[in-house]
Structure 1
Amino acid sequence: MPRRAVMTSVADEHAAPGGAASVDRAVTLLGLFAQSGGPFTLSSLAEQARLYKSTVLRLLASLEHSGLVLKQADGRYALGPMVAQLYASYAASFSLESVVMPVLRDLVAHTSESAAFHVRQGEHRLCLYRVDSPQPVRDHVRVGDLMPLTQGAGGRVLLAYAGVQGELYDRIRREQVAVLCGDRVPELAGVSSPVFDAAGTLVGALTLTMPKERLADAHAPNVVRAAHTLTARLGGRFPPAVT
């Protein structure tokens, strides 16, 4: 009798080191709802998670018992009321600073340049958080400083994702990063990438600044990675690049 083919599940491919396989698989199922909302049939969940239906059914029984998943009258599965309760607790205790600052510190440690997080405030951008470069020659923007939206990489990113048209903004949306020299201050360069929340809404711009002679090719991918990391920690996802 031929052996049944062994499937490598999505959870197996992204298993937590030292974690529990059953928890990894349950979290993978919940992740499917995060990606597209659902509701899902048992077959659809099994197919997307690459798990046997019998395994998915057991996982759903536990998730349904805890209120994380709800079985609808038509047999499909949707997120349950416990998700809303968890989100309310998360929102009540959430601190943007505690999420943003570690990413900025890591970026500065990796690049030795100054990193900041800018948000739009009317027709200006506000430096909400910042970590200074350890090097003596750097820009001297401070937390709380207001700068024009139409100057500097961070401002250009905020405008690009507000829908402003033009060749520069089209390129930023296409590449998901702005790399500019002398746009705000002649001696400075800036690299900035957008950050998004769980609803896909622009939260702000993560920006690296340095004297223009220190601008390096590696800065852009480093900033984009940091922006992706921060977006993920906010529960968000980057939108597809505009082509």
Structure 2
Amino acid sequence: MHPDTEEEPDKAKRGVAAVDRALMILSALEASPIPRNLSEISRATGLYKSTILRLLQSLQDAGYVVRVEESKYALGPTIMQLGLAYERANPLRHIILPVMQHLVEAGSESPSFHIRQTADERLCLFRVDSHHSTLDRVHTGDRLPVRRGAAGKILLAFGSDAEPGAEFDEIRATCFATSLGERDKFCAGVAVPVFSTQGRLMGALSLSGPRERFAPEDVKRMKLSLLRAAREVTTLLGGRFPV
């Protein structure tokens, strides 16, 4: 046996661990609206400062992180380059945003498109504000709890680790979820799934706004328009809508 053979798995594990820790650091910086110092990054990630410093050097060398104000760190220009590349290559924006804009022009509440970000969070990938004078507080890039809100219910019901329970069985049967004051007592929302090829869930398309505009007759009307939109987007993505 080659002398290096037994060491390879350990090397691979160390490599994966380093990547995981570097991603934790990037997530900690992404989650903060201002640069963070070493102690703040350590508290956010649970990593030792010595480990963070070692990984920050590699991240700085690659442009993923920049050092500012002598002892603080922020996301670097490489992150922006990746974002621009994602914008160019991502077909979702060109498919979903026109459908969302059409919903708004038809007088709907504010549409958003959410994807699963972590075990506990969802990410608002796209958002278009309605023409109504009052709006709910959701913006593109917001991270929201996956266990509160209509879009979160959709992600839980149709995700790869589908949530059990009668409520989620009903959501799977109807491809429709509602939320009245769960995330914010003054707001409400409805949501439907969007699929791509082979029935893979792409995300949740939702309408949200002030709770007083979500009476039963309003929700019924929203359901029809939202399901039509979800079918359209699913077809454009090469999928088949189940209902």
> Hey, what does 1:211 align to over in structure 2?
210
Deviation at 1:93, TM superposition (A): 5.8
More helix by share: 2
Amino acid at match of 2:111: A
Deviations 1:19-65 (A, max 9, x none): xxxxxxxxxxxxxxxxxxxxxxxxxxxxxxxxxxxxxxxxxxxxxxx
Is structure 2 residue 93 aligned with structure 1 residue 117? no
Distance 1:133 1:95 in 2: 23
TM-score (norm 2): 0.59
Match for 2:230 among 227, 231, 235? Answer: 227
> Hey, what does 2:182 align to over in structure 1?
183
Deviation at 1:94, TM superposition (A): 5.5
Superposed CA RMSD in Å reads: 1.5
Q: How many residues align?
A: 149
Task: Answer whether contact 2:108 2:222 (CA < 8 A) is retained.
Answer: no
Is structure 2 residue 145 aligned with structure 1 residue 148? yes
Is structure 2 residue 99 aligned with structure 1 residue 100? no
Amino acid at match of 2:154: V
Is structure 2 residue 195 aligned with structure 1 residue 199? no
Distance 1:103 1:219 in 2: 14
User: Which consecutive unaligned segments of at least 5 residues does structure 2 have?
Assistant: 1-87
The alignment-based identity, stated in percent, is 42
Amino acid at match of 1:223: L
Deviations 1:43-95 (A, max 9, x none): xxxxxxxxxxxxxxxxxxxxxxxxxxxxxxxxxxxxxxxxxxxxxxxxx9662
Distance 1:141 1:131 in 2: 10
Deviation at 1:170, TM superposition (A): 1.1
Task: Answer whether contact 1:119 1:205 (CA < 8 A) is retained.
Answer: yes
Amino acid at match of 2:103: L
Distance 1:199 1:94 in 2: 19
Distance 1:179 1:156 in 2: 8
2:106 partner SS: helix
User: Which consecutive unaligned segments of at least 5 residues does structure 1 have?
Assistant: 1-91
Alignment of 1:1-243 (within 5 A): 95-122=91-118, 123-162=120-159, 163-215=162-214, 216=218, 217-239=220-242
Amino acid at match of 2:127: R
Distance 2:228 2:132 in 1: 23
TM-score (norm 1): 0.59
Distance 1:114 1:141 in 2: 9
Q: Which runs of 4+ in 1 moved over 4 A?
A: none
Deviations 1:188-209 (A, max 9, x none): 1111000000121000000000
Distance 1:196 1:111 in 2: 25
Task: Answer whether contact 1:158 1:204 (CA < 8 A) is retained.
Answer: yes
Distance 1:111 1:160 in 2: 28
Deviations 1:157-213 (A, max 9, x none): 000112101122111001110022112111111110000001210000000002121
Distance 1:144 1:178 in 2: 22
